[in-house]
Structure 1
Amino acid sequence: MGIRRLSGIYRHTRIRNKLMVLIAFIVALSLAFTIIVQQYAFSIYDEQIYDKSSQVLNLSSKAIETELKRLEQLSYTIMTDEQIQGWMTSLKDEPSDYEKLIIQKLVSDRLLSYSGSERYVYSIQIFDPDGKQYDAGNIVPINPGKLQQMINTASEASGEHRWMYPDNRDPALIALRQIRSFQNTNFDLEDLGTLVIRINIDKLVGDIAPEEGSLMLVSGSSVIFPKSPLADPERLPASVHAGNGYTIVELDEETLFISHIRSPNTGWTYLHMTPFDLIFDQIVFIKQLVVFVFIGIFVIVILLGIRFSYSITRPIDDLIGRMKLAEKGDFEQANLLPAREPPSMDEIGLLQRNFRLMIERINLLITENYANRLLIKETEFKALQAQINPHFLYNTLESINWMAKVNKQTQIASMVEALAFLLRNSIGLKEKIIPLSQELSIVRSYLTIQQFRFEDRLRFHLDVPESLLSRPIPKLTLQPLVENAIHYALEPTIEPCDITIRGWETSEAVCLAVEDTGPGMEPDVLDKLRRGELQTKGTGIGLLNIDERIKLAFGDAYGLKLEEASGEGARVIIMLPKETEEIIHVSSDAGR
């Protein structure tokens, strides 16, 4: 009622207002469509720019990862150095103090040769099992508790590499590895000491990622770099620790663009935290500018539309004034009513020039119009009298059904109920696409009526999996095919006839087949009907109607296919889509 009322108001409003509303609607629709397309394009663009920005930011992370791998390889090279292996093994033989001093000097010189070429190494130290220290580089004292922790960590790794993170006392990232003997013939991997490499992580990150303050190295809840964390790792979403990518986070009333990459070697997460506005401020500005430009265009077009509508409707208003005078019978004043401006040479001007001729014929037109309206009203009244109220028919069938049940006429009651169900589904065509289960209910009601007619001659079989009952199908698709089977396969003969509805699913479609054991049907009937080469009394029209409704609903890839059944009879196959998320076109139901 609301839509009809608005439609009536719009239909009876002034042309000027109609033009304004129409122009506003078209511009608003165009604006909405443009903004939607623009936002969709921007979303794709944003995703691409975010991804590329993340990849660029992660380049430095990969470079840091490569450098850490190289330093990890350095620890392995020192551990397997044959000279260091030999010197540390000789200490097991309890040499003299002089020999120990010589060995200490040799080991320190060897470590110095390694540390001297490494710009990111503070110092390299070896602690033998007796606690003796051999070192090179910038040495800082290590408290006994931390030293024991490092030795235990390296020992638990059994020769593998381990990291120890910076703390308040030592800003260095420490690489640990247990030195194990592999030169003796017993291959017992005897413990020769613990290798400690202190790495200047600040310098390493500063050289590779000079944008200081934007990179964080975290391992779980532990911050490896920098000393003063940019954010608490526990406050960040879990997605930043899950893998590679980017995340946009609101943190402390600031929007951050976080590019994150997880190291497969160390398990650390590299976080590049950059204020969102710093990178994407221009993009956000362009988006807002485009929206404002569209709104400005909308306002300008509306104003131009208002002016345009006034230029069209102003002469019409003058003409309406003349017509009102003519309506009152004052034709002389209608002709003398001055226009607001000289008549133009367009259609409105011509209309004004011919207005005098229109006045002379206006009485005749009114009379004819009035007579025509009376005729139309009379025709409509007669048409209403000729109509049958479906509710009256349903109520009558219900009364017959009730009387049959009272008189224990169960067959009559069943037929009336089936007929009422068929009528309701045939007349009520609001739902043109229904589930297969509902279509089968219509078929069963139809067969209930026919069963009383043909009795044992009609044998119906249903072989449809339960998984297909919810699939959509155009209404009144199967029932006309079953009716055709009864008409052409059962009626001409006195022998029993089997009618079967089968259902199955292939890799491309859902198939439903209506089979009978009658005389059969040529497989090219549909093609002949389309070419007009075959004349039928109703079956062909029904088949074409069903085929066209299926194609309109689901596409040209689906429809009917005719073939001979195995042995004898006819077989009509209905091909439907496996999955239908949205039905765009629905054909109207048509009679057979």
Structure 2
Amino acid sequence: MRLRTLFQTFLHMRIRTKLSILITLIIAVSLSFTIALQQYAFSIYDGQIYDKSSRVLNLSSKAIETELKRIQQLSFRLMSEDQVQNWLNALKANPSDYDKHLLSQLLTDKLISYAGEEPHLYSIQLIDAFGSEYAGGNMISQDPNKRKSILDKAAEGTGESRWMFPDAVDAALILTREIRSFHSSNFDLSYLGTLEIRINIEKIIQDLAPAEGDLIIASGNSIIFPRAQPFSLSEIEAAFTDGKGYTNKEINGEEYFITRIQSANSGWTYINVTPFKQIFDRILFIKELVVFVFIGIFIVVFAIGIRFSYSLTKPIEELMARMKLAEKGNFEEANLLASGGQVSMNEIGLLQRSFRFMIERINTLIQENYTNRLLIKETEFKALQSQINPHFLYNTLESINWMAKVNKQSEISAMVEALAHLLRNSIDLKEPIIPLREELDIVQSYVTIQKMRFEDRLQFELEVPEAMLACPIPKLTLQPLMENAIHYALETIIDPCRITIRGWRTEGNVFLSVEDTGPGMPPGILDRLRNGEIRTKGKGIGLLNIDDRIKLAFGDMYGIQIDDNRTEGAIIVLRLPGEGEAIS
């Protein structure tokens, strides 16, 4: 019952109060949820850091071992070269001092070329069967005991590679192996010498291992890297009791994060020791910072929310007051802006602007409605009046025609009939596309009138096959071309002028040409007209008008073409679709 009462009270609250309560609840719930989610996310993040550190160490170890394996392959490639085998076999045969000197030089050059191509090597040294030494790179002198231990280590492998770790005197990781004779001409696996490759393990780790933390490489109880050991290996190993690849260990009063993996390829152990604070201090700081930031955000957002709710509800209340005025029919007062002036451009402001425009539009529509009623009546009257004018003109022409026939003036009668036919077709635009037959009738009527004017100076010929008369053509297409031919050809010369309309078909298209024997047309006139370079003097239907109407009716592939290669006369060709083709 109490919940229902609270709900009813909330429903009847003002929007401003509802927004304030709602914003407060949203922020409080969000803050609680975010803090809980943050703790969960950081716990997952801690685990991901552990796993990532292990993966990084794994990738580093693989990169280091890949590089060492590549150096192993280099040692095999060097000892198996035919030239090296031949030179060592020749040295074993105890040659002359001169030949021995040449062979020594060749071996030294070969070792120098190999050592110079490898950035991670100190030197490559080779000891032949008689104990003579050849080297390429930064060679150091070794005491006899170290030399003997290297030879003994190589002998254990009988051709396979063996490792010797850095010591207090020599920082190099040494790969050594015996060279056996397995040349095709002497495959007896006899001892030819010992190969010693001194590797800069510190440079390999700098290039391929992570810079964060201290990396330790061990083989059993032997330390491969680094030479100066800051941590006790046994103490680190004792920390891994749960079988995981990472752990936390306090060493010398400071806590460290330690990850460890063992290589399945070499059996070496890779350990990364990183100060715990170096990784996790920033995370702990972020955890505390997030809590304080959210509390500050809660206070700021609450204050902004209260102000926002007020700014949101105030324009709504003003709009409601105007709507009440509009409801009573008081549009002018409802259209006034609120005191204070400028309307914002947010949704509420746009709603106010829309309401004001609506009120203005209603007032405008009331005025326009009254004006439109007057215009409609006036238009209806003019439409009725305009219907009288053409009928009066046709009746007058019929009267003139009748009087001409009564007085036996056949030429006047023919001219009047042609004029009436021409006027009817010019005024009637209900059918914009007509058969070619009807268009030629219009042309004939126009020619009849012009014959009366120019008599024998106008020689008209029509050469259109009967089969083309049903083809579609835009109305008043040929007649303007005839008019242009008379205006620009016949009227500009004294001699008779022949105007011919021809028609033919080609590949489903219909072509009509209007030809005259006048002075001709300037080249490129159609393009120049379209570009505005020249302007026509006439007031009738021009070439561009005809070309545009054909393209609008049938498509861009149709239209007007002008033969620019003629020196006398002019030919205008119309390209149209054949009979029965679709009209766009």
Normalised by the length of structure 1, the TM-score is: 0.41
Which structure has the larger Rg? 2
